[in-house]
Amino acid sequence: MSEFGVTDQGFIIKPLSQIADETAAEFQSAFGAGVNLDPRGPLGQIKAILDERMSLLWQLAQAVYLSQYPNTASGIPLDNAVALTGIIRKPATRSTCSSGRARGVLNTPIPAATVISVYGASASRFQTDATAEISIPAVDEVQTIAFSSAPDAGAFTLIFAGQETVSLSATATAAQVEAALEALANLTDVLVTGSTSTSFIVTFQNEDGGKNQPLLTVGANTLTAASVPVILTITETTPGDAAKSPLIAMTAQNTGPVSAPMGSLTVIDTPVVGLESFTNEEDADVGEDIETDADLKIRRVAELHIYGTATVDAVRSKILDIADVDNCFVFQNNTDATDSHGRPAHSVDCIVQGGAAADIAEILFQNVAAGISFFGSISESVYDQLGFPHTIKFSRPTVLNIWLTLTLTTNSDYPGDGDTEIVNAIMAYGATLTIGEDVIVYGTKSILAAISAVPGVTDVAVKIGVAAIPADGSAVFTASDSAGDLLLTSNGHGLIVGNQVTFSNSGGALPTGLTAGVVYWVIWKDTNTFKVSTTRGGDSVAYTNAGTGTHTVYWGGRSDAIVVDERELAEFLFANITVIS
């Protein structure tokens, strides 16, 4: 067999130097040993052209050979190679949103393909899937002013959006309250009924109706009943709202992960007469880019485990094939005893992100071997061919909310809506996280990488946590024994569960179990005491001794990555992201 081309070792390409030697020998054989093959001469140049073309043919032959095998093919040849085992590359999908809501003039039609974009991200454009209509009438705001008892002396005032009414007496009538409210510059038409003996009902109507109004608050209050202070309580009985549409389904114009967090679809790109505002009441379901060659190759290997097996890999592969399933972890306990995670003996434990519960249960029933039990927090009934029910269990990932504060140093290139762009970039990054994936601050796929596209940011200080991030601070504490746990006492410390803290000591030694400078997690607290663990949600540090000298605890946001458990899914919320620029 030839040493080049298809060999026992695969395809061996002939190097250009070998081609050049062979063509030189051919020229010498045809034209004599003294033929002039100097590359500056005519024959030498012709030979060089032939050598190059022969080398290109060898490269083409190698590419054709490699295109036949999934591990070395790419692009369309890879599609063709994996199709031999029934595997098809996942196409790019579009983000969808089923919670669009239009507001404006009643009976206004909203045409199909009306375009709405994300505020601060004009390229994130969605369009309505079908014609809709603002068909739900407006609702007037109703608020109740309740009196703890009927006053017989004193007076009170009401405040609306920063403006205060004239003083109203203990015997004020509904008409007087109505007149006092309508005298405010920011109110035009309210209807007040009731009396001070029980309550006043305030209805915002006409020009002030059909919208959500700020809650009235109590200003000055000297009301008494038999010399006992009367308490006024104001509640929103009926939230006001403009005329609106039913929920509208929308699809992103572009394929791929186009993010639209709740409340961000607000820019009306297609003007419609009578359409005054738009929003989305839930996050959009984020689409995906076309499956990459690398991901397709990994999935091919996983799916090849399916056929004729009931292995962990096979079960996971089947679940990942379910529509809308984003990720899945499968664990098993093949011992004869319950394991440390609470899984019963000979059981399977599936944590599934996305997908319909009934579909997941059906796949588990079909692919987990008989005699294996299921472990999880969600139960579904599946019926066998004889009509007997079987309880199938699995779990959803536990959502781990992430708090983030970014303090930016910016220059003149930073856009006016830069803070919004930063938040949208973080939300888009969060949408890509899957089960058990850590939240990384620095790196290729990280928080800082996510915001790098926003111009004008010259420096970023990051504080991240799994609870509200406290301002930097410190306090002196003492230590004691609490049923074997190390109990730390610092009056009014203000810490909450999930905060990260460090410790130091002067004039002695920290309690055994605490090390200066090491990060600990607050796992329990009350007003004046708290307990810590070396891991998030772990067991308390045990009490050995109270230490000596002066102990100090330090808190504030940290810039460490958040390590996510195999059963957790990290998630960012708008309300938990603070940008300081």
pLDDT digits (tens, 9 = 90+) for 256-306: 999 999 999 999 999 999 999 999 999 999 999 999 999 999 888 877 765
Question: Is pLDDT above 70 for 29?
Answer: yes
* Average of per-residue pLDDT values in the chain: 92
- What's the pLDDT at 307? 54
What is the C-alpha separation between 406 and 425, in angstroms, rounded? 12
Asked if 372 and 393 touch (Cβ cutoff 8 Å), the reply is: no
What is the C-alpha separation between 156 and 196, in angstroms, rounded? 11
Q: Average pLDDT, stretch 126-148?
A: 96
- What's the pLDDT at 468? 87
**Residue 177 CB coordination number (10 Å):** 23
- What's the pLDDT at 471? 83
Say which residue the tokens 């040493």 belong to.
3
- What's the pLDDT at 205? 95
Our CA angle for 430, 561, 431, nearest 5°, is: 5
**Strands 568-580 and 398-410, sheet pairing:** parallel
What is the C-alpha separation between 149 and 182, in angstroms, rounded? 26
What percent of the chain clears pLDDT 70, i.e. is strictly above it? 99
